[in-house]
C-alpha cells in the first residue's frame, strides 16, 4: 500500500504571495513573523509581505533573532514573545533556520513545553498554524513535518517531526533566492540533493516518489552552474527551488537517514553549513549503501543520463576537499551520538559503529 500525506497548500511562482494573500489573511488575528537578521529583507520577501499586510490590514509582531542552525534558547525567547504579543499563527521567512524556528515556536507555545521537551513526541498534541516563505532552495522545510533545532548547552543538533507542523501554506517564489550568495546557493543545493538521494536509500522509499527524485536530481545537476553564473536568472532559480520542494516532499514521506545524522555533529563541532556537511560525506554514504540499493541507483543514473563516476566528478566540483581534521575524541563521541539518532531507523541496511567511524576518519 502506498500512503502519502502532504497537507501544505503551495502557492508557486512570481507574485505567489499576492495570489494567495486572501488565504493568509484568513488564518488568524495576529501573525508572529519569524526571520533571521537580514535575508528576509534582502530577498524581497519581507517587503512583499509588508505590502500584503497593509492591503489586508493584518496585524503582526516581527521576531528577527533567528541565526543559522536555530538555537533552542532563541526559540524559547520567540515563544515568550509570541505569547506576550497575543499572536495566533506564525509566518517564517528565510532559509530553513527561521522556518524551522517558526515550527518549533508553534509547538512550544501550543503545548506549553519547557526546556528540551520539544524532543518528547508524546508531549506534542497541538500546534499553531505556520506559513512558510522560503528564501533558499535546499531544506524543503516548506513542505515537511520536521524542524531541526540546536541545543547550544549540549552542543547538539537534532530534529523532531510531527504532522501538525506541516506548514498550512507555503509561498514559493524563486525570485526570493536571487540574492543568495554563491556559497549558500551551492550548500543548499547539496542539501536538496541529499534529501532526494535519501528517498532512494530510505527503508520507507516509495515508487510513487521516484519521478520526483530523478527529476529533482537532474535539475540540480543541470542547473547549479547556471544559477551561479547568472544568479538572477528566473528559470535556473525556479529549477533549484523545484528540486528543493521535491526533496522536501520526498523526506516528508521517507524520512532522512545516516546521510543527515552524520552531518549534524560536523555542523555543531566544526561549523560546516548544513548542506556542505551533507556534501562532504555524500560519496561515502553512496558507496556504503550502493550494494543494498544498486538497482534503484542504477535506474536513477540511467534516467538522468549520467554515470556514477560522472556523478562523483560533478560532486567533486562542488564539494571542496575538507580542510578540517577531526579529532579522535570527536570521532569516538559523535559516532555513538550518530548511531543513536532517530534517522538511523530509515537506513537501508544495518550500519555499524565502525562503519560510521570509517566515514568520519576518511574526511
Residues near ligand NAP (CB under 6 A) are 36-39, 42-43, 67-69, 94-97, 100, 135-136, 138-141, 144, 146-148, 176-177, 179-180, 184, 188, 191, 274-275
What is the rounded distance in angstroms from the CA atom of residue 88 to the CA atom of residue 127?
10
Q: For residue 40, count CB atoms less than 10 angstroms from its CB and return exposed for 0-12, middle for 13-18, buried for 19 or more.
A: buried
Q: Which does 135 bind (CB under 5 to 8 A by kind): Fe ion, ligand NAP, none?
A: ligand NAP
- What mask, x for binding Fe ion by CB under 5 A, covers residues 163 to 202? ----------------------------x-----------
Torsion of CA 318, 152, 161, 293, to 10 degrees: 40
The answer to whether the CB of 341 falls within 8 A of the CB of 158 is yes
CA 67 to chain centre: 15
Residue 251: CB minimum distance to ligand NAP, A: 6
Which cell numbers hold the place of 47? 517587503
Q: Which is nearer to Fe ion, 48 or 191 (CB)?
A: 191
Q: Which is nearer to Fe ion, 191 or 337 (CB)?
A: 191
Q: Which does 106 bind (CB under 5 to 8 A by kind): Fe ion, ligand NAP, none?
A: none
Which cell numbers hold the place of 16? 505567489
Q: Which does 137 bind (CB under 5 to 8 A by kind): ligand NAP, Fe ion, none?
A: none
In what side-by-side order are the strands of the sheet with 89-94?
Answer: 9-12, 169-172, 130-134, 89-94, 30-34, 59-63
Q: Which is nearer to Fe ion, 76 or 157 (CB)?
A: 157
Which cell numbers hold the place of 258? 545516516
What is the rounded distance in angstroms from the CA atom of residue 212 to the CA atom of residue 317?
24
Residue 324: CB minimum distance to ligand NAP, A: 18
The answer to whether the CB of 268 falls within 8 A of the CB of 156 is yes
Residue 40: CB minimum distance to ligand NAP, A: 7
Q: Which is nearer to Fe ion, 188 or 214 (CB)?
A: 188
Using rule CB under 5 A, residue 142 touches Fe ion: no
Q: Which is nearer to ligand NAP, 147 or 346 (CB)?
A: 147
Residue 62: CB minimum distance to Fe ion, A: 26
Q: Which is nearer to ligand NAP, 281 or 306 (CB)?
A: 281
Residue 220: CB minimum distance to ligand NAP, A: 14
Which cell numbers hold the place of 288? 556504503
Residue 22: CB minimum distance to Fe ion, A: 32
Residue 124: CB minimum distance to Fe ion, A: 21
CA 89 to chain centre: 21
Residue 354: CB minimum distance to ligand NAP, A: 26
Q: Which is nearer to ligand NAP, 36 or 129 (CB)?
A: 36
Question: Considering only CA atoms, which of 156, 4, 6 is closest in space to residue 72?
Answer: 156
The answer to whether the CB of 338 falls within 8 A of the CB of 262 is yes
Q: Which does 268 bind (CB under 5 to 8 A by kind): Fe ion, ligand NAP, none?
A: none
What is the rounded distance in angstroms from the CA atom of residue 303 to the CA atom of residue 301?
5
Number of residues in contact with Fe ion, rule: CB under 5 A? 1
Q: Which does 100 bind (CB under 5 to 8 A by kind): ligand NAP, Fe ion, none?
A: ligand NAP
Q: Which does 21 bind (CB under 5 to 8 A by kind): Fe ion, ligand NAP, none?
A: none
CB crowding 222-260: b at 16 or more within 10 Å, else e: ebbeebbeebeeeebbbbbbbbbbbbbbbbbbbbbbbbb
Q: Which is nearer to ligand NAP, 25 or 315 (CB)?
A: 315
Binding site for Fe ion (CB under 5 A): 191
Amino acid at each position: 500500500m502506498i500512503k502519502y500525506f502532504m497537507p501544505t497548500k503551495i502557492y508557486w511562482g512570481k507574485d505567489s504571495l499576492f495570489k494567495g494573500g486572501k488565504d493568509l489573511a484568513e488564518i488568524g488575528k495576529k501573525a508572529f513573523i519569524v526571520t533571521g537578521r537580514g535575508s528576509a529583507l534582502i530577498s524581497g520577501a519581507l517587503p512583499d509581505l509588508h505590502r500584503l499586510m497593509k492591503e489586508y490590514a493584518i496585524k503582526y509582531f516581527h521576531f528577527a533573532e533567528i541565526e543559522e542552525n536555530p538555537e533552542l534558547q532563541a526559540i524559547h525567547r520567540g515563544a515568550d514573545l509570541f505569547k506576550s504579543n497575543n499572536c495566533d499563527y506564525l509566518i517564517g521567512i528565510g532559509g530553513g533556520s527561521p522556518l524551522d524556528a517558526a515550527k518549533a515556536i508553534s509547538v512550544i507555545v501550543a503545548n506549553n513545553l519547557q526546556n528540551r521537551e520539544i524532543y518528547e513526541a508524546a508531549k506534542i498534541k497541538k500546534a499553531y498554524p505556520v506559513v512558510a516563505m522560503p528564501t533558499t532552495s535546499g531544506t524543503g522545510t516548506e513542505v515537511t513535518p520536521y524542524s531541526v533545532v540546536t541545543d547550544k548547552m549540549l552542543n547538539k543538533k537534532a530534529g523532531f517531526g510531527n504532522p501538525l507542523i506541516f506548514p498550512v501554506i507555503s509561498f514559493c517564489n524563486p525570485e526570493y533566492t536571487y540574492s543568495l550568495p554563491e556559497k549558500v546557493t551551492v550548500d543548499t543545493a547539496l542539501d536538496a540533493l541529499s534529501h532526494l538521494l535519501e528517498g532512494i536509500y530510505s527503508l520507507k522509499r516509495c515508487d510513487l516518489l521516484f519521478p520526483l527524485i530523478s527529476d529533482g536530481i537532474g535539475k540540480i545537476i543541470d542547473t547549479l552552474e547556471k544559477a551561479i553564473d547568472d544568479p538572477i536568472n528566473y528559470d535556473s532559480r525556479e529549477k533549484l527551488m523545484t528540486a528543493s520542494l521535491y526533496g522536501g516532499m520526498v523526506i516528508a514521506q521517507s524520512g532522512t537517514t545516516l546521510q543527515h545524522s552524520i552531518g549534524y555533529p560536523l555542523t555543531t563541532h566544526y561549523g560546516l553549513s548544513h548542506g556542505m556537511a551533507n556534501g562532504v560525506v555524500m560519496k561515502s554514504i553512496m558507496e556504503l549503501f550502493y550494494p543494498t540499493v544498486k538497482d534503484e541507483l542504477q535506474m536513477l543514473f540511467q534516467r538522468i543520463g549520467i554515470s556514477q563516476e560522472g556523478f562523483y566528478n560533478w560532486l567533486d566540483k562542488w564539494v571542496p576537499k575538507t580542510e578540517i581534521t577531526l579529532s579522535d575524541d570527536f570521532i569516538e563521541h559523535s559516532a555513538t551520538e550518530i548511531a543513536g539518532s532517530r534517522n538511523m531507523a530509515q537506513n537501508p541496511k544495518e550500519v555499524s559503529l565502525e562503519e560510521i567511524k570509517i566515514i568520519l576518519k576518511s574526511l
